[in-house]
Amino acid sequence: MSQAWLCIPSARPPEEAGKVLKLWKERGYKIALWRDGDCNEIDYGFNVGQGINLKVTACEYPGYAEAVNRLIVNAVYKDPSAEWFIAAGDDTEPDPNHSAEEIAAECFEHFSGTFGVMQPTGDRWHEGVGGFTNAPIDRVAGSAWYGREYCRRMYRGKGPLWHEFDHMFVDEHAQCVAQKLGVLWQRRDLVQRHSHWGRGDTDKALVRDPVIPPHLVKWNTREHWDKSKAIFERLKAGGFAEAADLLTG
């Protein structure tokens, strides 16, 4: 049986994050979690000691890409059955109609193995609003499934995400790289709902005056956006050559 792991950083209060994590656990996922700045065991409101494999990695946060990469590499090393790794957030829910095992098997069949990236795009939030013809999830790998071989071979085995990105643009870059390598699969039939802080009740319009969660304030600044965009544009100008140059055999 192939195994799917949710590998994410989390800084939301445990009582909030626990509700989402429990949904993943109930759908059959294992969970690897990086807690930002908290070195203590966290109570998420459900038993983490019986086969759930919730790993709390603590202390200094190295940024989203590096945190996810380290969690995935650790899971690859410790769990030989682990074949797919989901890089999302603690505000993203699993598809409610398919189990982790079912989706993992479909991904394996589609890619004839695990060298691939699958992004569920059934959450059509913000489609047709603010100049978007399609939903934003169509242009980013915002909650993607990364195969074991993809993770093992990318960037000389350091994980599937480009290490320079702290928060913004990591998902757009990840999608561009998967497209360059010809291994991106977008699935409209799968819904991983993203409860974004700016999401309105209609699932279309943004909240007029959204309150940014405290742990995300520093990532939602013009300074961070410009810094991240500059990294992305530099890599794009080079044709995302790093994806091929640092690909191991």
pLDDT digits (tens, 9 = 90+) for 214-237: 777 677 788 888 999 999 999 999
CB 110 within 8 A of CB 147: no
What's residue 207's pLDDT?
Answer: 57
What's residue 42's pLDDT?
Answer: 66
Please choose, from the candidates 105, 109, 72, 107, the residue with its C-alpha nearest in 3D space to the C-alpha of residue 87.
Answer: 72
User: pLDDT digits over 28-74, tens only?
Assistant: 999 888 876 655 566 666 554 333 344 555 557 889 999 999 999 98
Q: Is the pLDDT score of 196 beyond 90? A: no
- Which tokens sit at 9? 């950083």
What's residue 117's pLDDT?
Answer: 98
Please choose, from the candidates 221, 210, 199, the residue with its C-alpha nearest in 3D space to the C-alpha of residue 123.
Answer: 199
Please choose, from the candidates 85, 95, 145, the residue with its C-alpha nearest in 3D space to the C-alpha of residue 122.
Answer: 95
CA distance 226 to 169: 10
Give the start-to-end residue ranges of the domains of the chain: 3-245
Q: Is the pLDDT score of 130 beyond 80? A: no
What are the DSSP calls for 74-104, one per residue? HHHHH-TTEEEEEE--TTBPPPTTS-HHHHH
What's residue 54's pLDDT?
Answer: 46
Q: What is the CATH number of domain 3-245?
A: 3.90.550.10
User: Cα separations (Å) of 124 from 94, 103, 148, 195?
Assistant: 15, 20, 28, 12
Please choose, from the candidates 187, 35, 195, the residue with its C-alpha nearest in 3D space to the C-alpha of residue 111.
Answer: 187
% of the chain residues with pLDDT over 70: 80
Q: What's the whole-model pTM score?
A: 0.89
Give the pLDDT band (50/70/90) at residue 198: low
What's residue 33's pLDDT?
Answer: 85
Give the pLDDT band (50/70/90) at residue 127: confident
Give the pLDDT band (50/70/90) at residue 134: confident
CA distance 42 to 17: 11
Q: Is the pLDDT score of 161 beyond 50? A: yes
What's residue 205's pLDDT?
Answer: 55
- Among the ranges 81-90, 120-129, 239-248, which has the highest mean pLDDT value? 81-90
Q: Strand runs (DSSP E) across the chain, as ranges?
A: 3-10, 30-35, 55-57, 82-87, 117-120, 144-147, 184-187
% of the chain residues with pLDDT over 90: 52
CA distance 246 to 234: 17
pLDDT averaged over every residue in the chain: 85
CB 86 within 8 A of CB 3: no
Alpha helices in 61-209 (DSSP H): 64-78, 100-111, 148-153, 170-180
* Cα atoms in the 13 Å half-sphere on the side-chain side of 216: 17
